[in-house]
């Protein structure tokens, strides 16, 4: 009697299906914020240079009943600082500035009493400067601040939080000052430098600098702030950052696609 041939055990499904499972899991994670009465977000996932997932959830504007989509523009906040550092490093690579030089070499309006932190120290938040945003909010609350006010406030400071290099403390002042350094060293506005040297070469067509929340930009999400209602529950109000001159510390508006 001939021997019975052994059959191989059944094999698992093609490994392409786990990716579909991951995408479905992402949908499930963000489904709770996919509402028509609350602000949401846009989520993107890329792997090895290829976009695997990009989807909007919830609203970009409750006021105008506009939903988030992959094309929605949003402030990237302090992720702007990475681009500011890149701009400074590009100029340093070209021999036009020295990251280990004191910032006062390029912004002499600052007092020497601040300890003359270097550009490198400003980049890694060890410069010791006081945060101009904290000063402005403490002095004027949410009042809109005119252009040039940030540099004016920093130029008036005669003391620092600590000596440069002694500690690390997150601070917006350093990256605002680096914007001014780029202005002066490159000979063009910081915002134009980012467009010409970073955004355009990288194909970031939907990315721009927006210095003020009073400026209207097509496709840009509204900033929403949660507010408790008198009868209970949560409502929403428009959020506006006070400075009229956000720059290297947080001015960039982009899309998930551009950032991926």
Q: What is the pLDDT of residues 147-198, one digit of tens each?
A: 888 899 999 999 999 999 999 999 999 999 999 999 999 999 999 999 999 9
CB distance 118 to 99 below 8 Å: yes
Start-end of H helices in 4-94: 16-30, 80-93
Same domain, yes or no: 116 and 192: yes
Q: How confident is the model at residue 3 (pLDDT cuts 50, 70, 90)?
A: very low
Domain that holds residue 175: 78-199
- The DSSP bridge partners found for residue 138 are none
36 is catalytic: no
Same domain, yes or no: 88 and 195: yes
Report if residue 234 sits inside a domain: no
Tell whether the model's pLDDT for residue 12 goes beyond 80: no
- The DSSP bridge partners found for residue 54 are 44
Q: What is the pTM of this model?
A: 0.88
pLDDT at position 16, please? Answer: 54
- In angstroms, the CA 198 to CA 183 distance is 15
Among candidate residues 36, 60, 61, 78, the one labeled active-site is: 78
Report the CATH number at residue 156: 3.40.710.10
CB atoms within 10 A of CB 149: 18
pLDDT at position 6, please? Answer: 45
Pairing relation of β-strands 50-57 and 59-61?
unpaired
Q: Kindly report which listed range (14-23, 119-128, 198-207) carries the lowest average pLDDT score.
A: 14-23
Burial of 27 (0-12, 13-18, 19+ CB in 10 A): middle
């Amino acid at each position: 009697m001939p021997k019975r041939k052994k059959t191989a055990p059944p094999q698992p499904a093609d490994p392409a299906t786990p990716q579909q499972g991951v995408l479905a899991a992402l949908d499930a994670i963000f489904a709770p914020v996919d509402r028509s009465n609350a602000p949401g977000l846009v989520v993107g996932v890329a792997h090895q240079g290829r976009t695997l997932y990009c989807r909007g959830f919830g609203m970009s504007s409750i006021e105008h009943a506009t939903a988030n989509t992959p094309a929605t523009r949003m402030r990237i906040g302090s992720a702007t600082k990475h681009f500011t550092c890149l701009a400074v490093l590009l100029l340093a690579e070209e021999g036009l500035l020295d990251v280990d030089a004191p910032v006062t070499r390029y912004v002499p309006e600052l007092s020497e009493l601040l300890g003359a932190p270097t550009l490198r120290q400003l980049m890694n938040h060890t410069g010791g400067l006081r945060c101009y945003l904290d000063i402005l909010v403490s002095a004027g609350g949410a009042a809109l601040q005119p252009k040039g006010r940030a540099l004016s406030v920093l130029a008036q400071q005669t003391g620092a939080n600590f000596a440069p290099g002694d500690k690390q403390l997150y601070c917006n002042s350093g990256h605002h000052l680096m914007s001014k350094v780029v202005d002066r060293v490159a000979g063009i506005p910081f915002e134009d430098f980012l467009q010409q040297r970073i955004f355009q070469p990288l194909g970031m067509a939907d990315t721009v600098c927006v210095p003020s929340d009073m400026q209207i930009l097509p496709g840009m999400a509204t900033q929403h702030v949660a507010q408790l209602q008198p009868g209970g529950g949560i409502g929403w109000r428009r959020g506006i950052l006070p400075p009229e001159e956000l720059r290297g510390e947080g001015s960039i508006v982009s899309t998930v696609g551009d950032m991926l």
